[in-house]
Amino acid sequence: MDAINAFNCTCVQGFTGLTCADDVDECIMGNPCKGNRACVNLRGGYKCECKEGFIGDGCMTPIELCDGTPCINGACVNKDDTVRCGCYDNYFGESCQYELPYYGYSVMLIGDVTDVDGFENDMGITLITALQADEDDVVVTVMEDVRYIADETRTELTKLTFIVLYDDGYISAAKISELLSTFPQDTMEHRIGYKLYEGEAEPVTDPVNEDDDDRGQLSANWYIILIVIIILICIIIVIVAAVLVYRRKRVCKKQIIENDYVDMDPMQVAFENKVYSDLTSSENVTQTSTSKENEC
Ligand SMILES: [Ca+2]
């Protein structure tokens, strides 16, 4: 609009300023993009784009993050916007591309192996030596930890299957076997801290119940310990009570004798002194004392 020595501009939507040359930032003025949409400012306007992870009209449709993630031998798992491959049995790796029977080397050890981290560490040191590798180049990971029972001796056994990452690639079980065979058996057993078992064994098919049995045995042991403690406490109480009664009787007896002295005249005291040593065996005094002891 023209005016005297001045002008006013009426801006079209999206522009502002004296000459309407300035863009309005709609994303700051009041975000017009709601829901899963993100605002993008443009000169003279704006646009709404779907936020990452959403597509479709209104950006209401979540993108399946597993799309494009190859899980060769597994299923893609999309949880909390984190994608990973859940491998089928006997496969491992980022895309489940490795076959465990080919890469996994198993050892059967005698006893309940609870220090798996220690085993991995010790086996790593062994293989670093065998490969003449740098310390950081070898990583041992236990993939399976299965309990067995020795057929004949019924000894508890632990079968650990592990893989070895060396120089950014996994080495085969055959190669691991070859490397370990370069060590004398006793040397390796010493290094990994457990005795290897060679013989027939059967897997423990229901380890949960096995654990329950252990817990049941543990509870039974605690009951026995508790009963023994209670019996000991009872014995101590009886002994303490007996000692207290005995001491009480001695004090009473002493008081009775002292009172008898106070009641006597000097001649009697002299006489009684004579027989004092026999006092406890004196029938009369004993009878008198007994009657007074009862008062105690
Ligand atoms: Ca704008």
Compute the distance from residue 12 Cα to the ligand 1 centre, in Å. Answer: 12
**How far apart are the CA of 26 and the centre of ligand 1, in A?**
6
**Residue 25 alpha carbon to ligand 1 centre in Å:** 4
CA of 58 to the centre of ligand 1 (A): 21
- Report pLDDT for 124: 92
Q: 42 CA to middle of ligand 1, Å?
A: 4
Residue 62 Cα, ligand 1 centroid: separation in angstroms? 28
CA atoms of 243 and 101, how far apart (whole Å): 74
What pLDDT shows up at residue 285? 47
Q: 133 alpha carbon to ligand 1 midpoint, in Å?
A: 60
| DSSP conformation letters of the chain | -EETTEE---PPTTEESTTS-EEP-HHHHS----TTEEEEEETTEEEEEEPTTEESGGG-EEP-TTTT---TTEEEEEETTEEEEEEPTTEESTTS-EEHHHH-EEEEEES----HHHHHHHHHHHHHHHHT--GGGEEEEEEEEEEEEETTT--EEEEEEEEEEETTEEPPHHHHHHHHHTS-HHHHHHHHTS-B--S-EEE-S-HHHHHHHHHHHHHHHHHHHHHHHHHHHHHHHHHHHHHHHHHHHHHHHHHHHHHHHHHS-HHHHHHHHHHGGGGGG-HHHHHHHHHHHHH-
The answer to whether the pTM exceeds 0.75 is no
Residue 6 has a pLDDT of 74
Distance 18 CA to ligand 1 centre (A): 16
Q: What's the CA-to-centroid distance between 61 and ligand 1, angstroms?
A: 27
* Tens-digit pLDDT string for the chain (296 aa): 555 667 788 899 899 988 899 999 999 888 888 888 889 999 999 988 888 777 777 777 766 666 666 788 888 877 666 778 889 999 999 889 999 999 999 999 999 998 999 999 999 999 999 999 988 899 999 999 999 999 889 999 999 999 999 988 999 999 999 999 888 877 777 777 788 888 898 988 765 554 555 555 556 678 889 999 999 999 999 999 999 999 888 887 877 777 765 555 666 656 556 655 555 555 444 444 445 445 55
- CA 32 to ligand 1 centroid distance, Å: 12
In angstroms, what is the span from residue 14 Cα to ligand 1's centroid?
6
Distance 60 CA to ligand 1 centre (A): 25
Q: How far is the CA of 16 from the centre of ligand 1 (A)?
A: 10
Distance of CA 23 from the midpoint of ligand 1 (Å): 5
* pLDDT computed for residue 265 by the predictor: 60
- 13: CA distance to ligand 1 center in Å? 9
**Ion ligand 1, residues whose Cβ is below 5 A away:** 23, 41
Ligand 1: distance of its center to the CA of 51 in Å? 19
Calculate how far, in angstroms, residue 216's C-alpha sits from the geometric centre of ligand 1: 73
44 Cα: distance to centroid of ligand 1 (angstroms): 5
